[in-house]
Structure 1
Amino acid sequence: MEQIKVYGTKWCPDCHRAKQVFRRLNIQYNWIDIEDDREALEYVRQVNKGCQSVPTIVFPDGAILVEPGNKELEEKLEEIK
Structure 2
Amino acid sequence: MMRPWILSLLFVLCGSFVAAGLAFSGSPGAAAGLLLAFLALAGVNSPLIFPRSVGAAEASRRSAADGRPVIYWRPGCKYCIRLRIRLGRDARRLHWVDIWQDPAGAAAVRAANDGNETVPTVVVAGRARTNPDVEWVREQLSRTR
Larger C-alpha radius of gyration, 1 or 2? 2
Deviation at 1:18, TM superposition (A): 1.3
Deviation at 1:63, TM superposition (A): 3.1
Identity of aligned residues (%): 27
Give the structure-2-normalised TM-score.
Answer: 0.46
Deviation at 1:16, TM superposition (A): 1.1
| Structure number having the greater helix percentage | 2
* Structure 1: stretches of 5+ with no match in the other structure: none
CA distance in 2, matches of 1:34, 1:26: 17
Match of 2:128 in 1: 64
The residue correspondences of 1:1-81 to structure 2 (distance < 5 A) are 1-25=66-90, 28-59=93-124, 61-78=125-142, 80=143
Deviation at 1:62, TM superposition (A): 3.0
Report the AA paired with residue 43 of structure 1: A
Give the structure-1-normalised TM-score.
Answer: 0.76
Task: State whether residues 120 and 131 of structure 2, in contact with CA within 8 Å, keep that contact through their aligned partners in structure 1.
Answer: yes
Task: State whether residues 22 and 28 of structure 1, in contact with CA within 8 Å, keep that contact through their aligned partners in structure 2.
Answer: no
CA distance in 2, matches of 1:44, 1:51: 7
CA distance in 1, matches of 2:73, 2:91: 19
Deviation at 1:29, TM superposition (A): 0.7
Cα distance 1:33–1:27, how it changes in 2: closer, same or farther (>3 A)?
A: closer
CA distance in 2, matches of 1:69, 1:5: 15
CA distance in 2, matches of 1:6, 1:52: 13
Of structures 1 and 2, the one scoring higher in RCO (CA 8 A, sep 6+) is 1
CA distance in 1, matches of 2:91, 2:108: 26
CA distance in 2, matches of 1:12, 1:75: 23
